[in-house]
Structure 1
Amino acid sequence: MGGDKKEKKSKKKDKADEGGLVIAPSSVTPKLDTSGWPLLLKNYDKLNVRTAHYTPIPAGCSPLKRPLAEYLRYGCINLDKPANPSSHEVVAWIKRILRVEKTGHSGTLDPKVTGCLIVCVDRATRLVKSQQGAGKEYVAVLRLHGPCAETKVKRAVETLQGALFQRPPLISAVKRQLRIRTVYASTLLEYDAERHLAVFHVKCEAGTYIRTLCVHLGLLCGTGGHMQELRRVRSGAMDENRHLCTMHDVLDAQHHFDATKDESYLRRVVLPLEILLTGFKRLVVKDSAVNAICYGAKLMLPGLLRFADDIDVNEEVVLMTTKGEAIAIGIAMMTTSVMADCDHGAVARVKRVIMERDTYPRKWGLGPMATKKKALVAEGKVHKNAAYPAPLEASYDAKDATPADDEAARKAEKKAKKAKKKALEGGEEKEKKKKKKKKSD
């Protein structure tokens, strides 16, 4: 009987081995394919690991799975701006349609100009400044005032690259001062010799005037020229080929949600703000350090989990949670190599906090020094707001120090200071009176 059982067991083992059910022991950890992960978590496995040990906190949420009200508060829209209304009008309409508190945009477009306008909603308005300074791309139609050879137009378009002097157009909302703007690339797409029309693509710095660029192109061609039409095809991280929607889409999505309570259309139109930060280098923060950063604290090395390659000092980085939420935009205080080698110090300081405070629980004040102070406060040996030197033991008398005594001592100090001031002021007044009497005598 015993022999039969052993044979059966060995047969089962063989079958399991054949079917691939047994995991063979291995020192190599299996690789995760994170190239398809969303937003800031994309290529997560390619980040440098400082430590893999941390305690996950059941707070926060993946950006794509936020409840709808929160999803809208942390959202942005890649809007195809219609011609004729101004950018401010369009943004005000979206605020009214979505019934939100605040909206902002990523850089003004003239009323007649169409194309990408990033509209930020509520908390996402904190990213407006960074998006306004991001690079832009345009497709413009130039009308020349006379006949010109295509080769000459092409040469003129390719000449106007690099740092250029520009003065704002006659009708503009800013002071007409001479300024320098960089054009990274400009290419001629099409030229109609009969109608003297040229279509060209420009990749440039924020604040470049395409209208002025068209006037300069006309001068280079020797015929004169002006801008006929303009469309923005890219603004920062967003372009016209991805997630572009019209005003009608926004209105329909909100109406569809009000009528049927179906969120899918609204979630497709409004995108999480993290999509605007995919171009930044990333620092992944432990859950216990998140709320401290929301209150403005620097990110210290013990709170760092993963970090990107090639980070330089004073470079803008995005601080993110393990769930892929953006916490803040920070300024790096260490390079990548220093982060890998050091065991203490500040990694980054906060430039702009994005996440709401207390989304994650408070986890500071749990260190050895803080717990010692809390114990002394609980025993009544140190007042919770009392100033004390670094070694806590030297800051109190175990016999008679109480919170009431601390307050009384502070009040007595204040009274003594006031009395000193009055005495000094009184003495100065008496001296002045004596001098006046001497002069009169």
Structure 2
Amino acid sequence: MPQAQKSFALGATLEKAGGGRRKTSEQRASMRSSSKFRPSSADDSNKLSPPKMALVKQDNGEELMIKPEAITPNINTADWPLLLRNWHQLLVRTGHFTPIPAGCTPLNRDLKSYVSSGVINLDKPSNPSSHEVVAWLKRILRVDRTGHSGTLDPKVTGCLIVCIDRATRLVKSQQGAGKEYVAVLRLHGKLPGGEAQLARALETLTGALFQRPPLISAVKRQLRIRTVHESKLLEFDNDRQLAVFWVSCEAGTYIRTLCVHLGLLLGVGGHMQELRRVRSGAMDEQSGMVTLHDVMDAQWLQDNQRDESYLRSVIKPLETLLTTYKRIVVKDSAVNAITYGAKLMIPGLLRYEAGIEVHEEVVLITTKGEAIALGIAQMSTVELSSCDHGVVAKVKRCIMERDLYPRRWGLGPTATTKKQMKESGKLDKYGRPNEATPAQWKQEYRDFNDPNGPNGTVLDPNHGTEPQAAEAAGAKEGMPGRGQEMPSKQDVEMAEPVAPVPTEQEPAPVAAAAEKTEKKKRKHEGETAEEKAERKRKKKEKKEKRASKAAEDDDSD
């Protein structure tokens, strides 16, 4: 076949094939367009269009809505850190609140805030005193304040809780917590009854005991009562006359005195040879106890290599000390008001723990697990679940710094009106009524923070209600009481004006101090040297007694 005929036949074949392909694509497009607008049957809809996820079709053609699953996701909050642990066990007052993007969880604070709100469970070495160890820590970490809860004698080792900066506010709360010790007792003779005799003596010295501090002690040697909760004999060697025992006791118990009493009770005598504290409050030997070298190495690593992981493992957040308290969760909008000393009211309550009793010490926390303050509960758990208004807790010790959360109080209608009246001069700068205050405001506004009552009348719980107190005050001043007749308007108008009685002006503070000094001189005028020495001696004894009473709260071993 010639070349021209071959090319013509090939072109016709390609044109025929291309036309067939174009026709096929046009047919597909028309089929798609027709199927799009054509009403489809049930079978076609199942084949061509995507299924409707919100409907369920049964065999009879009836459409039903898909019901949501009744299974709630199982969230295990037992592993949540610190004050958020077992969050699901808290009782819910309301779930309606607006989260505020302020604050953070205790473990995610920046390093400066983490250190300044941290505590260290320190393994105190033997020989240096507790105050020396705390001073060394302050110099190593370069912080402003440090404090420790529960003093240990120089020779005693073990758990010493050191609080840094803001955490020093929790020192008092940890000083009164229970303590546990392991002691080595040296007996002055062999026991005929052996280990059983010593175990019986330990069991006898349990409960409330009379103790007098040792001869060498930091406090005055006065007889006092301390409670030993439990004791247990760990090891005994009658040949070497040595015993090791564990004791759980109240803060301020002298284990040295307890060992002397054990020796007297056994009839052979004894003394304490060695002592170690294994628990202090919420911290024990297993809760990340560190040494002074650990703290120094962690600070060196942060200063030279900018590695803060070691320092974060050495220092714990202050919330670690509060895990034994019952929790009350507060809305974010109420946090800043509490840091300024406001009471927690029912509208600011989110969740609370079961078993709260009135006047029990609780911890107020945020939804992120931050400790706001230690408070005294004003309602029990039953009242919290049923009351619509009232005071939930009063602040005992504020922990969180102010203005970490934004200020959200003073935005209500009454507070806004009061602010406008102060600006316009209808109230004084303290919000109290003056001459320009409208009468309606004086009648309707109730200031519950005023000690004189909402309307200016003195509220005395010992003298009945407001009208009774006002009536009693009027009768005292010669005004008619309940049984007397009120004077008429004419009598009041025709009465002669009474001149005001001049009152003595109170002396100035300087004049009062000078008068007090002159009075003292006149009192001691003419006394002999012996009388003066006796008076000074009594004054010194009184001052020492006051100082020893204050030092009794300090825990020493």
TM range (shorter): 0.7 to 0.9
8 Å contact from structure 1 (residues 105, 120) kept in 2: yes
Q: Is contact 2:187–2:268 with CA below 8 Å preserved after alignment?
A: yes
Q: TM-score, normalised by structure 2?
A: 0.68
- Could you tell me how far 1:374 is from its partner in structure 2? 2.8
Q: Which residue of 1 aligns with 2:201?
A: 156
Report the counterpart of residue 245 of structure 1 in structure 2. 290
Change (3 A) 1:168 1:286: same
Of structures 1 and 2, the larger Rg is shown by 2
Is contact 2:82–2:369 with CA below 8 Å preserved after alignment?
yes
Secondary structure at 1:142's aligned position in 2? strand
Residue 288 of structure 1 is matched in structure 2 by: 333
CA distance in 2 between counterparts of 1:49 and 1:107 reads 37
Gap change, CA 1:396 and 1:152, over 3 Å in 2: closer
Contact 1:218 1:224 in 2 (8 A): yes
Query: Do the aligned residues in 1 keep the contact of 2:138 with 2:144 (CA within 8 Å)?
Result: yes
CA distance in 2, matches of 1:354, 1:362: 17
* Matched residue, 1:146: 189
Give the corresponding residue for 2:134.
91
Aligned 8 A contact 1:283 1:308 in 2: yes
* Residue 172 of structure 1: aligned partner: 217
User: What corresponds to 2:235 in structure 1?
Assistant: 190
- Structure 1 residues 425 and 287, CA gap change in structure 2 (3 angstroms): closer
Native 8 Å contact 1:388 1:395 kept in 2: no
Corresponding position of 1:45: 88
The corresponding residue for 1:361 is 406
1:384 & 1:174 partners in 2: Cα distance? 50
For 2:71 and 2:362, locate their aligned partners in 1 and report how far apart those are by CA, in whole Å.
32
Query: Which among 354, 360, 385 is matched to residue 309 of structure 1?
Result: 354
Contact 1:142 1:197 in 2 (8 A): yes
Question: Structure 1 CA distance, aligned partners of 2:389 and 2:52?
Answer: 54
Deviation of 1:32 after TM superposition, in Å, equals 2.2
Does the 8 Å CA contact 1:381/1:396 hold for their aligned counterparts? Answer: no
Residue 7 of structure 1 and its aligned partner are, at CA, apart by 1.9
Please give the secondary structure, in 1, of the residue aligned with 2:174: helix
Residue equivalent to 1:81: 124
User: Contact conserved, 2:426 with 2:438, CA < 8 A, in 1?
Assistant: no
Cα separation, 2, equivalents of 1:146 and 1:425: 79
- Code of the aligned partner of 1:271: K
Question: What is the CA–CA distance in structure 2 between the aligned matches of 1:36 and 1:259, rounded to whole Å?
Answer: 34
Contact 1:185-1:204 at 8 Å conserved across structures: yes
1:350 corresponds to 2:395: yes
Residue in structure 1 matched with residue 254 of structure 2 by the alignment: 209
SS at match of 1:138: strand
Does the Cα contact within 8 Å between 1:135 and 1:204 map onto a contact in 2?
yes
Q: What is residue 6 of structure 1 aligned with on the other side?
A: 46
Determine if contact 2:426/2:433 at 8 Å carries over to the other structure.
Answer: no
* Separation in 2, partners of 1:316, 1:368: 34
Identity percentage of aligned residues:
68
What is the root-mean-square deviation of aligned Cα atoms in Å?
2.5
> Alpha carbons of 1:8 and 1:267: their partners in 2 closer, same or farther (altered >3 Å)?
farther
Stretches of 4+ aligned residues off by more than 4 angstroms: 1-5, 8-13, 377-384, 423-426
> What is the count of residue pairs matched by the alignment?
396
Q: Secondary structure at the match of 2:416?
A: helix
SS at match of 2:327: strand
Q: CA deviation at 1:12?
A: 9.8
Distance 1:27 1:394 in 2: 58
2:165 to 104, 114, 122: 122
More off after superposition, 365-374 vs 51-60: 365-374
Specify the SS of the correspondent of 1:313: coil
Give the counterpart of 2:374 among 329, 341, 359: 329
TM-score normalised by the chain length of structure 1: 0.85
For residues 169-215 of structure 1, the C-alpha deviation after alignment (integer angstroms, 9 at most, x for no partner) is 11001111111111110010000112100000000000000000000
Aligned partner of 1:113 among 156, 178, 184: 156
Distance 1:386 1:128 in 2: 38
Measured at CA, do residues 146 and 55 of structure 1 come closer, stay the same or move farther in structure 2, by a change above 3 Å?
same
C-alpha distance in 2, partners of 1:353/1:317? 12
Structure 1 counterpart of 2:314, which letter?
Answer: V
1:295-332 CA-to-partner distances (Å, cap 9, x unmatched) read 11111111110011111111100000000000000011
| In structure 2, C-alpha distance between the alignment counterparts of 1:228 and 1:241, rounded to whole Å | 24
What code does the residue aligned with 2:317 have? Answer: P
Q: C-alpha offsets along residues 76-134 of structure 1, whole Å, 9 cap, x if unaligned?
A: 00000000000000000000000000000010000010000000000000000010000
Return the offset for 1:6.
3.0
1:136 touches 1:203 (CA, 8 Å); kept in 2?
A: yes
- Report the CA distance shift for 1:386/1:294 in structure 2 as closer, same or farther (over 3 A): closer
Q: Distance in 2 between matches of 1:230 and 1:261?
A: 39
User: 1:370 corresponds to which residue?
Assistant: 415
Structure 2 SS opposite 1:163: strand
Alignment match of 1:299 (pick from 315, 329, 344)? 344
SS of the counterpart of 1:202? strand
Closer/same/farther in 2, CA of residues 143 and 52 from structure 1, 3 Å limit: same
Change (3 A) 1:9 1:41: farther
User: 3-state SS of the aligned residue for 1:52?
Assistant: coil
Is the alpha carbon distance of 1:4 and 1:280 closer, same or farther for their aligned partners in structure 2, counting shifts above 3 Å?
Answer: same
Q: Residue in 1 aligned with 2:105?
A: 62
> How big is each residue's C-alpha offset from its partner over 1:328-350, in whole Å with a ceiling of 9 and x where there is no partner?
00011111101111011111111
Residues 422 and 431 of structure 2 are in contact (CA less than 8 Å); yes or no, is this contact kept in structure 1?
no
**Quick check: 1:285–1:321 contact (8 Å CA) kept in 2?**
yes
**Structure 1 386/62 Cα, relative in aligned 2: closer, same or farther at 3 Å?**
closer
How far did 1:375 drift? 3.8
Secondary structure at the counterpart of residue 130 of structure 1 = helix
